[in-house]
Amino acid sequence: MIIPVPAFVAPEKMDVLLSAEQIADRVKAIGDQISQDYQGQSIVLIGVLKGAAIFLADLARSIKVDNTFDFVAVSSYGRARVTSGAVKMIKDIDNPIEGRHVILVEDILDTGLTLSYLRGLMLQHRPASLKIATCLDKPERRLVPIEADYACFKIPNKFVIGYGMDYAERYRGVPDIRIYPDNPPPGH
């Protein structure tokens, strides 16, 4: 499916769902929780590109225990998403995770297809443990049963942008999280 490039809508015209301050407070709280849960251990954060890059950068800086990070990239086959999990890995981890404590870091847990696919793949590497941290959780949209161990915010079924999240690759650098006006936007 080819989606034409949509007209640019200025983020200033969109309603703020979560302010930069609200996000910073929750990311710090989740970082503290992780630091407590993994006391004395070392962890590997694996971010899902590109959406999770900004959340991971903030989260890593709020975690006090020994940590390293890595990234994966996946592509989904358009919006014709089916429960068979039409997701493909396009960039794998750089370093082995066997025997390591891993936290998969996502921008948003939506249908759950991406994270259940990635979790399955990561478990094949036999990590010592595997948890999921997400900035946003949209529980209403779930197609497969998967829950985050750490979630900053549960949000209603609205398409959002900012803090790493995009629409047609735009708005990832917007520092707060806003509701895209045309909701859901074409192609989503």
Q: What DSSP designation does 165 have?
A: B
What the block records as the tokens of 165 is 């999240």
What the block records as the tokens of 37 is 């849960």
* 110 is an active site residue: yes
Residue 108 contacts ligand IMP per CB under 6 A = yes
Active-site position among 58, 107, 110, 176: 110
Residue nearer to ligand IMP on the CB measure, 27 or 165: 165
Cβ burial of 121 (10 Å; 0-12, 13-18, 19+) is middle
Residue 18 contacts ligand IMP per CB under 6 A = no
Residue 110 contacts ligand IMP per CB under 6 A = yes
Q: Can you tell me which of 56, 59, 107, 151 binds ligand IMP, judged by CB under 6 A? A: 107
Strand-pair partners of 3: none
Q: Can you tell me which of 104, 160, 174, 176 binds ligand IMP, judged by CB under 6 A? A: 160
Tell me the backbone φ, ψ of residue 150, rounded to 5 degrees: -135, 125
41 SS3 class:
coil
Residues taking part in catalysis: 110
Contacting positions for ligand IMP (CB under 6 A):
51, 106-115, 159-161, 165-166
